[in-house]
Amino acid sequence: MKNTIIKTLTILSLVTVSSVSFAEKTFSYDLVEAGAIRFNIKPAGRTFNYDGYFVSGAKEVSDNVHIFASYADTDNASMNLNLKTFGAGLHHSISEDTDVVFDLSRVNYSLSNDNLDLATSGNFNAAELGLRHRLSDDLEITTSFTKWAMDATPISYSGLGIGAIKKINNDVSVRFDYKNLKISQGQEDVNPITLSIRHYY
């Protein structure tokens, strides 16, 4: 009986130590973020650049579930483009340094020109499957496949993305992200590019 208790306590101790060690290396999904964003929209060989800012936040609500929201305000010489995003996602560790992440979100967009009294708006669903991988203690890379499905139309955009997150200290990182999304019908690319400061809490 005594040997059984000792063996049980030893196993529990090893599991606890292993869990703590693993927890220290898992990725955080509790964050706020702000930075610059550019949308390169390229219909049929032309290019429209929308530059502006975005703010976002995420919160882990259980061990493998997080929610998130963001707002982006951009414009070019004549038009203003705004996007509001609300969503939820799942994340799962496949190793101490790698997480698989799947996000689903609902996006509302508005495009306007105050000078011409022109405005249009709509919604689309967004899905993203990605990997977060820690290369070192202060550098993380991300890869993703993203799809946007527009409401009330068969048109969609899909493509690959890549990014990097550089750790400044335990709470603050700098993030860069680039996506190349292609339209399902016709010739048009959309390239969202972001450079931001991320604060973990």
What pTM value is reported for the model? Answer: 0.83
Question: By the 8 A CB rule, do 88 and 64 touch?
Answer: no
CA 30 to chain centroid: 12
Q: Tell me the pLDDT tens digit for each residue of 161-191.
A: 999 999 999 999 999 999 999 999 888 999 9
Number of domains observed in the structure of the chain: 1
- In a domain? residue 184: yes
| pLDDT > 60? residue 145 | yes
- In a domain? residue 5: no
Q: At 77, is the pLDDT very low, low, confident or very high (cuts 50, 70, 90)?
A: confident
| Domain extent at residue 81 | 29-200
Provide the residue type at 153 as one letter: T
Distance, in Å, from the CA atom of 147 to the CA atom of 104, rounded to the nearest integer, reads 10
- In a domain? residue 46: yes
- In a domain? residue 3: no
- In a domain? residue 24: no
Give the CATH number of the domain where residue 171 resides.
2.40.128.130
- In a domain? residue 116: yes
**Where do we find the tokens 């967009």?**
109
Q: At 4, is the pLDDT very low, low, confident or very high (cuts 50, 70, 90)?
A: very low
Residues 6+ apart with CB under 8 A from 70: 54, 55, 56, 57, 83, 84, 85
- In a domain? residue 147: yes
